[in-house]
Structure 1
Amino acid sequence: MEPPNPLPEFVYKITPTAPPQPIPEAYPLSDLDQKDGFVHLSTASQIPTTADLFFASSTSFYLVKLRLSNFEPSSVKWDETPGTNGCPHLYGNFGGKDVVDCKEVVRPEGLTWSEALKGEAEWLV
């Protein structure tokens, strides 16, 4: 699948637990990322859908904000995923030098992730 045009400045890794501090040179890969052979990432606009699908029973998660231009274009594939315009998958890894910021996101009781993330619009660019 072709990458979006224009490319987003940032992509995000959603993690169920706080990232290690300091963030190591090679980020510890999740079991899913190891199994699939790439790091699952999301664009800002994909995070609410991804969170509603995969973190529906969670009340919080962490977002690791990565600068997309830090990666070789050939290492990021925009793979077709139902309901999206293509999800970024990093074939390789990232580390502390690629991380712009990290943030815990908490979902108040009774809200979906889509509703809870509306308050994060300025951070999710």
Structure 2
Amino acid sequence: MLIYKIFRAAEWAELDQAGESLGAPVDRADGFIHFSTAAQAPETAAKHFAGEDGLVLAALDRDALGEALKWEPSRGGQLFPHLYRALKRGEVLWSKPLPLVDGRHAFPEDME
């Protein structure tokens, strides 16, 4: 199963250059890196990244993240994946731009 992380351009550049990241400021403040499933990602984008352009969507294999990945209740009681360690660039299977189209983020059609 793939899980997804939405990055702002500067956050993606940090991960890409440094090889690892503790995530966005909200991730660092919460003590874990927030991820979403394919079904949750559009709502995450709308709620936390409304109107932001220049985003990057990264896909990761949940099983490859090991025991540091925990599924915990969040929005509306849904279980969300949270990573309790630094994310390594090599764990990203693919990344794609997440453009704004008519005010909404256009997600790839091939998300699982």
Q: With structure 2 as the length reference, what TM-score do the two structures score?
A: 0.83
Q: Secondary structure at the match of 2:40?
A: helix
Any idea what the Cα deviations from partners look like across 1:61-101, whole Å, max 9, x if unmatched? 111111111112x3111111123631100011221221101
Q: Specify the structure having the higher radius of gyration (Cα).
A: 1
Aligned 8 A contact 2:51 2:104 in 1: no
Amino acid in the other structure paired with 1:96: R
CA–CA separation in structure 2 for the residues paired with 1:28 and 1:89:
12
CA–CA separation in structure 2 for the residues paired with 1:59 and 1:97:
25
2:106 counterpart of 1:121: no
Q: Could you tell me which residue of structure 2 aligns to residue 11 of structure 1?
A: 3
Q: Could you tell me which residue of structure 1 aligns to residue 30 of structure 2?
A: 36
Q: With structure 1 as the length reference, what TM-score do the two structures score?
A: 0.76
Any idea what the Cα deviations from partners look like across 1:21-57, whole Å, max 9, x if unmatched? 7454322532111111100111111110001101112
Of residues 76-85 and 59-68 in structure 1, the stretch that sits farther from structure 2 once superposed is: 76-85
Aligned 8 A contact 1:80 1:86 in 2: yes
Aligned 8 A contact 1:23 1:95 in 2: no
Match of 1:82 among 75, 89, 93: 75
Could you tell me how far 1:121 is from its partner in structure 2? 2.1
Q: Which runs of 5 or more structure 2 residues have no equivalent in the other structure?
A: none
Amino acid in the other structure paired with 1:76: L
Aligned 8 A contact 2:32 2:82 in 1: yes
Q: Could you tell me which residue of structure 1 aligns to residue 55 of structure 2?
A: 61
Q: How many residues align?
A: 110
CA–CA separation in structure 1 for the residues paired with 2:9 and 2:31:
21
Aligned 8 A contact 2:22 2:85 in 1: no
